[in-house]
Amino acid sequence: MSMTVKYLDLPRQFQDEELFRLIRSQFERCQFVMGPEVEEFEARFAVLCGVPHALGLNSGTDAIFLALKALGIGQGDEVITVPNSFVATAGAIVAAGAKPVFVDVAADYNMDVTLIEGAITPQTKVLLPVHLTGNPADMTVIMEIAREHKLFVIEDAAQAVTAAIDGKRVGSFGDAGAFSLHPLKNLNVSGDGGALTTGSADLCEKVRMLRNHGLKNRDEIGFFGYNSRLDTIQAIVANHVMKNVDAVTKTRQKNAAIYDEEFAGMEDHVVLPPRRADVKQVFHTYIIRAKNRPALIEHLAARGIETKVHYPMPIHLQRPCLQLGYKPGDFPECERQSAEILSLPVHQHLEEKQIHYVAKEVKGFYNG
Ligand SMILES: *Cc1c(COP(=O)(O)O)cnc(C)c1O
């Protein structure tokens, strides 16, 4: 039995007549910029994340960037983050004028909190953990260290909408949370989009102005800002898909559990994603560590199964980071992981038989 298993199925998700109707009606009003749907999104996203304030932005990258700007971070400041993330995490730090300082990750792919204090210098201003794969970083320890050293915390929650520790949702721990609504994310729109969460009315107000040229009213600015607004049409899409976000998460969790069960007893070949009883993971990705990865990828591709690697090149080995003084060997755990990790399809449109098929072919590769 052979079948095709795509890594994602966006065409299927977006064949949605109700959504088309909602978008069509916007073309009668034509309030394309800062229409009322943006505010509606902000109110609902704040509730979703369990925070007092949320703002719609043009991307997850700018959510990180504007949080840094609003906190006054820039030239001469250091921001501690991880080398195992999408490049935007470090890119936003550099765009703000600050220096990304990497610490290695732990076996759970997230910031190794035992290494943070060793990386703190008098220039350190912010801890910027990433909730990679939709699994929250260890925010309890990170917040303790931040309090002790008087550092800000910005959570890169781009992959982790509604993930939680003891019921407390990501984006509600730090000074700000940065979310992406990119088509590939769990809560996705039909283009670029992002959101910032915060408990601080002050920070919210600063970012609200920064995203809209620094304007405080129609004609006057308080300071120079940017154009980082969430399009009204994408806000309409976000409001629509938000109704479904819990169902999407539940299906991804169920799919992940099927893989876990299928791979039980294969510890010699396949390392499963970490699990913690107090943590809600949302499985933006289902990442295994696999022996002999290139051959496994080929084996699966030949059987119609699409996989990805998140991410094949650690950020500290990207060209501009070599100029910052980083080199191979600096973060051995991250580098080891980058050679072994493999993301299996886990999206909400998979049928159970497809997941069993993927698992069977992975097992067949090792037992073959
Ligand atoms: C996707 C992503 C971003 C960037 O989000 P955009 O909306 O594409 O700008 C940042 N960090 C992580 C971890 C991501 O996965």
Assess whether the C-beta atom of 180 lies below 6 angstroms from ligand 1: yes
Which residue, of 242, 273, 290, is where some domain finishes? 242
- For residues 320 and 209, state if they share a domain: no
Residue 88 Cα to ligand 1 middle (Å): 6
Which residue, of 201, 226, 242, is where some domain finishes? 242
Q: How far apart (Å, rounded) are the C-alpha atoms in residues 184 and 121?
A: 36
Locate the ligand 1 atom nearest the alpha carbon of residue 62 and give its number. 9
**Tens-place pLDDT, residues 87-127:** 999 999 999 999 999 999 999 999 999 999 999 999 999 99
Q: Is 13 left (phi over 0), alpha (psi -120 to 50) or beta?
A: alpha
Assess whether the C-beta atom of 159 lies below 6 angstroms from ligand 1: yes
Q: Kindly state whether residue 3 falls inside one of the protein's structural domains.
A: no
Residue 269 Cα to ligand 1 middle (Å): 30
pLDDT surpasses 70 at 188: yes
Assess whether the C-beta atom of 194 lies below 6 angstroms from ligand 1: yes
Q: Kindly state whether residue 329 falls inside one of the protein's structural domains.
A: yes
**Tens-place pLDDT, residues 261-301:** 999 999 889 999 999 999 999 999 999 999 999 999 999 99
Residue 291 Cα to ligand 1 middle (Å): 28
Among 68, 81, 86, name the best residue to mutate to test ligand 1's pocket (greatest count of ligand atoms within 8 A of Cβ): 86
- For residues 106 and 236, state if they share a domain: yes
- For residues 139 and 259, state if they share a domain: no
Residue 61 Cα to ligand 1 middle (Å): 6
Which residue, of 179, 213, 242, is where some domain finishes? 242
User: What was the pLDDT predicted at 368?
Assistant: 75
- For residues 49 and 193, state if they share a domain: yes
- For residues 48 and 85, state if they share a domain: yes
Q: Kindly state whether residue 278 falls inside one of the protein's structural domains.
A: yes
Cβ-proximal residues to 345 (8 Å cutoff; 6+ apart), any chain: 5, 6, 7, 8, 286, 305, 306, 307, 354, 355, 358
What is the domain extent for residue 330? 245-367
Domain count, the chain: 2
Q: Kindly state whether residue 100 falls inside one of the protein's structural domains.
A: yes
The amino acid present at 158, given as its one-letter code, is A
Average pLDDT of the residues in 65-93: 98
User: What was the pLDDT predicted at 2?
Assistant: 79
Q: Kindly state whether residue 341 falls inside one of the protein's structural domains.
A: yes
- For residues 312 and 360, state if they share a domain: yes
CA 328 vs CA 132, 317, 318, 342: distances in Å: 22, 7, 10, 21
- For residues 139 and 180, state if they share a domain: yes
- Contact yes or no for 58/230 (Cβ under 8 A): yes
- For residues 99 and 217, state if they share a domain: yes
Q: Kindly state whether residue 1 falls inside one of the protein's structural domains.
A: no
CA 21 vs CA 10, 29, 244: distances in Å: 18, 13, 17
- For residues 277 and 236, state if they share a domain: no
Name the pTM for this structure: 0.98
Assess whether the C-beta atom of 60 lies below 6 angstroms from ligand 1: yes
- For residues 193 and 338, state if they share a domain: no
Among 182, 188, 190, 231, name the best residue to mutate to test ligand 1's pocket (greatest count of ligand atoms within 8 A of Cβ): 182
User: What was the pLDDT predicted at 1?
Assistant: 67
Locate the ligand 1 atom nearest the alpha carbon of residue 159 and give its number. 15
- For residues 209 and 129, state if they share a domain: yes
Token pair of 327 as six digits: 């080199």
CATH number of the domain bearing residue 362: 3.90.1150.10
- For residues 99 and 138, state if they share a domain: yes
**Tens-place pLDDT, residues 17-27:** 999 999 999 99
Residue 2 Cα to ligand 1 middle (Å): 34
Q: Kindly state whether residue 44 falls inside one of the protein's structural domains.
A: yes
Residue 270 Cα to ligand 1 middle (Å): 27
Average pLDDT of the residues in 177-191: 98
Q: Kindly state whether residue 4 falls inside one of the protein's structural domains.
A: no
Locate the ligand 1 atom nearest the alpha carbon of residue 180 and give its number. 7
CATH number of the domain bearing residue 47: 3.40.640.10
